[in-house]
Amino acid sequence: MNLSSFARAILCLFISVGQAVAQPPDNFRDASSEQLFFNARIITGDGAVIEQGSVLVRGDTILAVGSTSSIDTSQHAIRHDLSGKTIIPALVNTHAHLGWEAYGDWGSQFFTAENLADHLFRHAFYGVGTIISTGSDKEELAALVKLEQLKGNIGGARYHLSPGMGTPGGGPNPRFTDDPDYWGVHPVADPEQAVRTVKELAANGYGIAKIWVDSRDERRGAQVKLAPEIYTAVLETASSYDMRIIAHATTLADHKSLVNLGNRRFIHMPYDREVDDEYLEMIRENNVYIVPTLGMITKREPYYIPAFQDPFFYDQVPASVLESLNDNYNPPPADQSAAAEQRSAMLARNLAKLKDHIILGTDAGAVGDFFGYADHVELELFVRMGMSPAEAIVASTSRSAEAFGLNSVGSLKAGKAADFMILDANPLDDIRNTRQIIDVYLRGKRVDREALKQQWSQ
Ligand SMILES: [Zn+2]
């Protein structure tokens, strides 16, 4: 794509994504103005809770967080009395696939600047402030959208890119690779190519990349699993360029091998067997982070509710889309066999044992889950499988940010980005209260959720 067609795309985007969204809200006047959010319960994201607390924001940055009485404000600060409300950091989602989804439709034909921006706004609407798109972005276009966002021309969740590496013909699930216009992963057929590829990605400014360690043999015929000597080369080279690698791996044996060879982040937890003490010790010693993507593996559980039956999703979706989601819904029935129950119990035990390592990721945009909405479903699943609400919030905010060195987001502290949600109920009482969103602020600016909802539900 050349720059002039990109400029046209951006122009379209401003017309269609809505001027109400592009313009600052009334209560935000200039970058130096201060806003005080006071008398709220503040869940800081790193485990602390301040009752009757305040957050003081200047421009896009938090100046101070503390008890309301301890905060010094200028007389000119805009004041928001939040008695009875709760503030939590905006969520940090480390695993989704932006650009491909158009609700019911899906494919590379939708990968446009406009659709990418829409996906950033859909995350923002639901209080997700940061999103890492993992291994499926059309990199040239995605990088331009990211650049426009850094310049302040596109709002929504902060967009991070994570190019993918895999064996030739390998990579993501067949839905991607069956698409005739799939642009492919960066092939790494041997250690030399792995070293070259990581260096190239680093030279292009990428600080995060993904590898697939998955053969998917039966479904697409003898795809060769990324070999340990190749991922060793990836991991070693990446570490010397301060690049963070996240590995897609689903078996306990692959997890152990990857940790042994230097991997510290996983998409998917071991699904094939119960985790053992050896693994638990390895991940503790090496401070390993794991995205369990529970939403993806619980669709046949009896408690599963499709998004189009949940007002938290369907209230902001066009009626025509809902109709088609409804019409096309043809799931396998809930599996309540003894084997399925045993497997569910095993996965819940794994999640509970891994809970201090868990971070947020939804895989939304790849498997039929919806941006932003799926994040709240995932939080609920964290708690259903054994985390406390407080632990689920830490996992989805500060720990997710820490896993990728995203130091400005994920917690509410002086010097951090002013990215947070204001809730009407306390999520520590019931994790589903993260859905009681009154407002979302990103970069110190109120996200105009009403305007977005209007635009989407027309
Ligand atoms: Zn994925």
Q: What is the pLDDT of residues 31-46, one digit of tens each?
A: 568 999 999 999 999 9
Q: For residue 370, how far is its CA from the centre of ligand 1 (angstroms)?
A: 13
Residue type, position 330, single letter: N
Where are the domain boundaries for CATH 3.20.20.140 in the chain? 90-403
pLDDT at 2 exceeding the cut of 80: no
User: pLDDT tens, 198-251?
Assistant: 999 999 999 999 999 987 755 555 578 899 999 999 999 999 999 999 999 999
Confidence of residue 177 (pLDDT cuts 50, 70, 90): confident
Q: State the distance from the centre of ligand 1 to the C-alpha of 269, rounded, in angstroms.
A: 13
Structure confidence at residue 103 (pLDDT): 87
**Span from the CA of 150 to the centroid of ligand 1 (angstroms):** 25
Ligand 1 centroid to Cα of residue 172, in Å, is 7
Closest CA to 43 of 328, 369, 452, 379: 379
Q: How far is the CA of 46 from the centre of ligand 1 (A)?
A: 26
- Minimum mean pLDDT among 2-11, 299-308, 365-374, 399-408: which range? 2-11
Q: At what angle do helices 113-125 and 139-150 cross, to 10 degrees?
A: 50
Tell me: pLDDT of 72 over 80. no
Nearest to 307 by CA among 363, 246, 368: 368
Distance between CA 22 and CA 264 in Å, rounded? Answer: 38
* Bridge partners (DSSP) listed for residue 173: none
User: Please, which residues bridge with residue 131 across strands?
Assistant: 93, 159
Q: How far is the CA of 361 from the centre of ligand 1 (A)?
A: 9
Q: Which residues contact 193 (CB under 8 A, 6 or more apart)?
A: 187
H/E element holding 313?
A: helix 311-314
Instruction: Note the helical H segments in 151-227.
Output: 174-177, 191-203, 217-220
Q: What is the DSSP letter of 112?
A: S
173 alpha carbon to ligand 1 midpoint, in Å?
A: 8
What's the confidence (pLDDT) of residue 25? 43
Of 451, 443, 453, 449, whose CA–CA distance to 90 is shortest? 443
Q: How far is the CA of 97 from the centre of ligand 1 (A)?
A: 6
Query: Residue 22 above 70 pLDDT?
Result: no
**Pairwise CA distance, residues 415 & 139, whole Å:** 31
Ligand 1 center from residue 211 Cα (angstroms): 11
pLDDT of residue 33: 86
- For the beta carbon of residue 58, count every other beta carbon within 10 angstroms: 17
Query: Cα(326) to centroid of ligand 1, in Å?
Result: 24
What pLDDT shows up at residue 219?
A: 54
pLDDT of residue 31: 55
Averaged pLDDT for residues 74-80? 82
Burial 60-76 (b: 16+ CB within 10 A, else e): bbbbbbeebeebebeee
Residue 212 Cα to ligand 1 middle (Å): 10
Residue 400 to residue 289: CA distance in whole angstroms: 8
CA of 95 from ligand 1 middle (Å) equals 6
H/E element, 446: strand 445-446
pLDDT at 217: 57
What's the residue count for the chain? 458
Q: How far is the CA of 205 from the centre of ligand 1 (A)?
A: 22
Measured in Å, residue 447 CA sits from the centre of ligand 1 at 27
Residue 417, sorted as left (phi over 0), alpha (psi -120 to 50) or beta, turns out to be beta
Higher pLDDT, 15 or 212: 212
User: Model confidence at 5, in pLDDT bands (50, 70, 90)?
Assistant: low
How many A from CA of 80 to the centre of ligand 1? 39
- Evaluate if residue 29 carries a pLDDT over 60: no
User: What pLDDT, on a 0 to 100 scale, did the predictor assign at position 434?
Assistant: 98
C-alpha to C-alpha distance for 414 and 321, rounded to whole angstroms: 42
**Residues 423/434, Cβ–Cβ less than 8 Å:** yes
Left (φ > 0), alpha (ψ -120 to 50) or beta: where does 54 sit?
A: beta
Q: Where, residue-wise, is CATH 2.30.40.10 in the chain?
A: 3-88+414-457
Q: Enumerate the β-bridge partners of residue 422.
A: 87, 439
Handedness of CA 341, 346, 349, 351 (dihedral sign): negative
| Two structure tokens written together for 58 | 């200047």
Report which of 334, 363, 414 is spatially closest to residue 93, judged by C-alpha positions.
Answer: 363
Cα 32 to ligand 1 centroid, rounded to whole Å: 39
Taking alpha carbons only, the member of 344, 383, 338 closest to residue 360 is 383
At 383 the pLDDT is 98
The more confidently predicted of residues 236 and 20 is 236
Cβ atoms of 383 and 392 within 8 Å: the answer is yes
| 28, 46 contact by CB (below 8 A) | no
332, pLDDT greater than 90: no
Q: Is the pLDDT of residue 14 over 50?
A: no
Name residue 159's beta-bridge partners: 131
Distance 132 CA to ligand 1 centre (A): 11
Q: What is the pLDDT of residue 16?
A: 46
CA of 427 to the centre of ligand 1 (A): 27
For 254-384, strand residue ranges (E) read 265-267, 289-291
Q: What is the pLDDT of the chain when averaged over all its residues?
A: 90
Helices 113-125 and 3-17, axial angle in degrees (round to 10): 40
% of residues, the chain, pLDDT over 90: 76
Mean pLDDT of 431-456: 97
Residue 146 tokens, joined: 């990211």
| Mean pLDDT of all residues in 134-142 | 95
Give the Å distance between the CA of 85 and the centre of ligand 1.
Answer: 34
Residue 10, pLDDT score: 53
CA of 239 from ligand 1 middle (Å) equals 23
Domain 90-403 sits in which CATH superfamily? Answer: Metal-dependent hydrolases (3.20.20.140)
Question: Measured in angstroms, how far is the CA atom of residue 267 from the centroid of ligand 1?
Answer: 7
What is the whole-number distance in angstroms between the Cα of residue 40 and the centre of ligand 1? 36
pLDDT one-digit tens code per residue, 288-297: 999 999 999 9
What is the whole-number distance in angstroms between the Cα of residue 116 and the centre of ligand 1? 16
Phi, psi of 281 (to 5 degrees): -65, -40
* 311-327 pLDDT, tens digit each: 999 989 988 888 888 88
| 26 has pLDDT over 70 | no
Least confident of 65-74, 107-116, 271-280: 65-74
377 CA to middle of ligand 1, Å? 16
Contact between 323 and 250 (Cβ < 8 Å): no
d(CA 51, CA 310): 31
CB atoms within 10 A of CB 256: 18
Cα of 213 from ligand 1 centre, angstroms: 12
pLDDT band at 4 (very low <50, low <70, confident <90, very high): very low
What is the rounded distance in angstroms from the CA atom of residue 230 to the CA atom of residue 251?
18
Question: From the CA of 140, how far away is ligand 1's center (Å)?
Answer: 20
Q: Tokens 């971070």 belong to which residue? A: 359
Q: What per-residue confidence (pLDDT) applies to 173?
A: 84
CATH 2.30.40.10 fits 3-88+414-457, yes or no: yes
Residue 366 Cα to ligand 1 middle (Å): 6
- What's residue 169's pLDDT? 75
Whole-number Å distance, alpha carbon 171 to ligand 1 midpoint, is 10
The DSSP H or E segment spanning 5 is: helix 3-17
Q: Which of 68-72, 281-285, 312-316, 381-385 has the lowest mean pLDDT?
A: 68-72
pLDDT at 36: 95
* Distance from Cα 57 to the centre of ligand 1, integer Å: 35
Q: How far is the CA of 238 from the centre of ligand 1 (A)?
A: 21
> Does residue 9 have a pLDDT over 80?
no
